Amino acid sequence: MQRNLDFDVKVEGGQLGLRSANWERRRVFPMVDRPDRFAYDYGRSQLQFERDAGGNVVAVVLFEGGEFRMQRRLAD
């Protein structure tokens, strides 16, 4: 059984980055022709931001090693 990951997503210096309890902040980069999809610079993992009907980000999906994990957005 896999546990949920808590992500901290921020833009710093114009660069989107993601941090979790398992690792320090890592930069992610937009993927061409894939709206709301980002990849880490080492290329093995990707993130997909999910939006509601109003366009607000409500979740992030981490694709890593053929598996995926979803984390719902917590209130600010």
In a domain, residue 2? The reply is: no
Over the Cα atoms of the chain, what is R_g?
A: 12
Q: How many domains does the chain have?
A: 1
Instruction: State the pTM of this model.
Output: 0.75
User: Does residue 1 form part of some domain?
Assistant: no
Q: Across the chain, how many H-helices and E-strands are there?
A: 0, 7
Tokens representing residue 47 in the block: 């993130």
Question: Tens digit of pLDDT for each residue in 5-64?
Answer: 678 888 989 999 988 777 788 899 999 999 999 998 876 788 899 999 999 988 888 888
Q: How far is Cα 34 from Cα 28, in angstroms, rounded to an integer?
A: 14
Structural domain boundaries enclosing 47: 7-72
Residue 40 lies in a domain: yes
